[in-house]
Structures are given as C-alpha cells and as structure tokens.
Amino acid sequence: MKKILMVLTVLLGALASCLPAHAASFADLVDFTGQTHPTLHYTYNDVADNAKFSWTHSILDDLGSYGLSEIKLLDTELSLTYAKTEGNENWTLTGFGALLKTVDQPLTTAFILSTLQLGQLQQTGQITILPAESTTGADTLRLIESRLSGHFEIPKKAEPVNAPEPSTILSILLGLGGLSAVKIKPRSRG
C-alpha cells in the first residue's frame, strides 16, 4: 500500500514539474522629448554626423520579482520613432538595420532582435543602441522615442501534491473489500 502511494506521489510530482511555463511582457521606453527624461528639457535630441550618441534600454525593472537567470526571453522588438532625415542622409542603427528617410513627419521603424542581441539582453538585461550615419555633411536625425518590448517565459512552479492520509486510503479499501465480500441475494420473481 505504501509503495503504491509513493509511486502515485512521484508520478504526480513529475507531472506537475512538466507543466508549461507562462509568459509575461516587458517594455522600456526612452522618450527623447523629455517626458520621461526631464534632463533633456522637453526638446528633441538631434544627432549629427556620427556624434557617437547612444542610449541604453534596460529590462531589469520590468521582470517583477524574477531575476535574469529565472526567465527566458521569447521575443523582443526595438521600435524607434524619429524625424528629420533630410536629403540623401542614410542613417542606421548599428547592428539593427537602416532607417527610412523622412523630413518632418515622425516615422517609426521596428526591428526584431537577432539571436545574438537576444542573448546579450538575456545575459545583461541591457542593450545599447548606437545610430550611425553613412553620408557626409551636416546631417541630422531627430530622435523622438525608442521602445524595447517583448515577452519572457516564467517557469511555473509545481504546487505541492496533496496526498491523502494512509488511514483514509485504508478505510476506503476496507470498505470496498467489505462490500465485495457481502453477497447480494437476487430478488426472487414472483
């Protein structure tokens, strides 16, 4: 009897540990208009001719009570809203790709993080963005907003298995055994 209970407990525990994890989301915003960064005095930030301007996104504050080692990043997207890429200017985000050209109308370009970038973010919780311009002259890029968002997997913790008391199981088995030992007489027809 104890062996059966032990086997059932082990099987239920193994089943609970195989439960799927659930996902949560994160988002980190860098607002270049100063709404979340007042030190920029509510002005746009113009980047001129590879000025080596960069910014860093961090997901560490968006993981709740979990640490980087407890989660697994599933997907991550970087979206940049910008304006004022005039003329023949060619701007890129180093390691991400090219930005489209726009004059005064804000434009948003989104990039999916590569496996390497996702690995870096998983390891450090941060990723640095560096705009680069491949043309010459007094070219500008007006940054408005940068958003890093995505999903991460949280392993589901197994709940403790509630096994019945051995005496309860024994009582049920004895009751069933007693019922099977009693012969029920068929009713006579008549």
Nearest-angstrom CA–CA distance, 80 and 54: 13
- Per domain, the residue ranges of the chain are 19-154
Where the chain has pLDDT below 70, the residues are 1-21, 34-52, 85-88, 136-139, 157-164, 170, 176-190
Predicted pLDDT at 11: 45
Q: How many CA atoms lie within 13 A of 99 on its CB side?
A: 32
Total count of residues recorded for the chain:
190
* CA-to-CA dists, residue 154 to 69, 109, 125, 151, angstroms: 10, 29, 15, 10
pLDDT at residue 131, as a whole number: 83
Residue 75: the pLDDT is 92
pLDDT of residue 112: 94
What pLDDT, on a 0 to 100 scale, did the predictor assign at position 154? 84
Domain 19-154 has CATH 2.60.120: yes
- Name the nearest CA neighbour of 47 among 34, 29, 58, 32: 32
Give the torsion sign (CA, 104, 41, 126, 128). Answer: positive
